[in-house]
Amino acid sequence: MPALVSLLVLTLLAACSSTASTEPASTPTTAPSEATRPALETATPTAPPASRWQPSPAATWQIQFVGEPINTDYDVDIYFLDLFDTSAELVAGLHQRGRRAVCYISAGSWEDWRPDAADFPEAVLGAHYEGWPGERWLNIRALDPLAPIMEARLDLCAAKGFDGVDPDNLDGFTNATGFPLSQADTLAYARWLAAAAHARGLAIGLKNATELAETLAADFDWMLTESCFTQGWCAETAPFLNAGKPVFAIEYGDEGMVLDDFCVQAADLSIRAILKEWNLGEWVEFCE
C-alpha cells in the first residue's frame, strides 16, 4: 500500500506541473499602467454644421468699427463689429433683439494698437500696409507662432457671444507683403482659419480674395467685398452665390460712389450692398 500511495502522489504532481506549463510566460498578471498605455489622439471639437449659424442670402446688415456708442438701432439682421472694442453685453443685447453679431479681426496683418500686438514675434511682421499707419503684413506661412494668437482671438470672439468672424487681409498674395506669399499659402492658411472658427461654433466669411472664391466656397459661410462695383469684379463672387451663400458688399462714398451707381446691379446679382465711408463709422446708406 505505501508504494501505491507514492506512485499516486508522483502521478498527481506530474499532472499539475504539466497544466501550469501551458500558460505563456509572457502573459501579464496585472493591467498595464497609465504610463505604458498608448496616448489617445486629441482633436478640437467641431460644432456640427446644423448647429452653426449660416446667414441667409437675403440678410440685411450694418458694419461699424469706430464711434461711440455703437448705434444698434438699425433694423438689420447682422452687425459686423470690432472684436476688441465690442463688449459681450452689446452682443447679448443684439441677440435679445433677434440680431446676429460678427467679430472683425485682421488675420493677415498686424496692428500695433491691438492689446495682443506684443504677442507677435518680429519675424512674422512684414512690409507696412500702404495707407494704414501702424499696420504691417503678416507671414501667414509661419503658422506655429501665428496659430496660438489667432486661436486666442477666436476664443475671445466665441466667449463674447459672437455668431461669426470676419477675418480681414487674406489677400496678401496680391500685395507687396515683404514675403513671397502664394495662393497656395493663402489657401492653406484660410482653410486652417475656417476650421478653427468652425471648431468654436463660429461662422466665417471670406473677404475680398475672389481669386480663391471657387476653391473656398465650401469652407466659408459667406463672402464680403469692398469696392467690387467700383472696380468691376463683383461677378467673381458667383461661387458663393451659386452655393446659396450670401455676398455682402461695401461701396465707399470716399471713392465717389452713390447708391444709384451700384444698387440695381447689386439686386441683379443678389448681392447685399451698402454705402459706407472708409472709417467704417456709424454712417450708412442702404440699397432699397
Average pLDDT of the segment spanning 254-259: 98
Average pLDDT of the segment spanning 63-80: 97
Q: Per the structure block, which three cell numbers stand in for 252?
A: 465707399
Q: How far apart are CA 58 and CA 272, in angstroms?
A: 7
Determine contact, residues 276/230, Cβ cutoff 8 Å: no
Q: What is the DSSP string of 7-29?
A: HHHHHHHHHHHHHHTTS-TT--S
Judged against a pLDDT cut of 70, whether residue 25 lies above it is answered with: no
pLDDT band at 23 (very low <50, low <70, confident <90, very high): very low
Domain-located, residue 175: yes
Domain-located, residue 37: no
Domain-located, residue 8: no
Determine contact, residues 61/40, Cβ cutoff 8 Å: no
Domain-located, residue 14: no
pLDDT at residue 44, rounded to an integer? 42
- In DSSP terms, 73 is beta-bridged to none
Domain-located, residue 288: no
Domain-located, residue 258: no
Average pLDDT of the segment spanning 90-99: 98
Measure Cα distances from 100 to 148, 202, 237 in Å.
Answer: 26, 12, 23
Residue 143, C-beta contacts closer than 8 angstroms, at least 6 positions apart: 189, 192
Q: Based on the structure, what is the number of domains in the chain?
A: 1
pLDDT at residue 48, rounded to an integer? 53
* Nearest CA among 62, 97, 68, 96 for reference residue 81: 62
Judged against a pLDDT cut of 60, whether residue 34 lies above it is answered with: no
Any idea which of 35-44, 45-54, 158-167 has the lowest mean pLDDT?
35-44
Judged against a pLDDT cut of 80, whether residue 14 lies above it is answered with: no
Q: Per the structure block, which three cell numbers stand in for 201?
A: 461654433
pLDDT digits (tens, 9 = 90+) for 225-242: 999 999 999 999 999 999
Average pLDDT of the segment spanning 33-49: 35
Residue 152, phi then psi, degrees to nearest 5: -65, -35
pLDDT at residue 49, rounded to an integer? 55
Distance of CA 101 to the CA centre of its chain: 15
The average confidence (pLDDT) of the chain is 87
Average pLDDT of the segment spanning 109-124: 98
Tell me the residue type at 158.
A
What range does the domain containing 234 cover?
Answer: 61-247
Q: Is 249 helix (H, G, I), strand (E, B) or coil?
A: strand
Average pLDDT of the segment spanning 34-38: 27
Residue 252, C-beta contacts closer than 8 angstroms, at least 6 positions apart: 226, 227, 230, 275, 276, 277, 278
- In DSSP terms, 167 is beta-bridged to 105
Q: How far apart are CA 126 and CA 136, in angstroms?
A: 6
Q: How far apart are CA 99 and CA 158, in angstroms?
A: 16
Domain-located, residue 146: yes
Distance of CA 281 to the CA centre of its chain: 24
Q: How far apart are CA 60 and CA 52, in angstroms?
A: 19
pLDDT band at 51 (very low <50, low <70, confident <90, very high): confident
Average pLDDT of the segment spanning 249-256: 98
Tell me which DSSP letter residue 74 carries. Answer: S
Q: Per the structure block, which three cell numbers stand in for 175?
A: 500685395
What residue spans of the chain are helical by DSSP H? 2-20, 88-96, 143-159, 183-199, 213-216, 228-231, 238-242, 263-269
As a residue count, the chain comes to 288
Judged against a pLDDT cut of 60, whether residue 172 lies above it is answered with: yes
Domain-located, residue 268: no
Judged against a pLDDT cut of 80, whether residue 5 lies above it is answered with: no
Judged against a pLDDT cut of 60, whether residue 171 lies above it is answered with: yes
For the chain, helix, strand, coil in percent to 5 are 40, 20, 45
Average pLDDT of the segment spanning 86-95: 98
Q: Above pLDDT 90, what percent of the chain?
A: 82
Q: What is the CATH number of the domain that holds 88?
A: 3.20.20.70
Q: Per the structure block, which three cell numbers stand in for 136?
A: 504691417
pLDDT digits (tens, 9 = 90+) for 122-167: 999 999 999 999 999 999 999 999 999 999 999 999 999 999 999 9
More confident residue, 27 or 103: 103
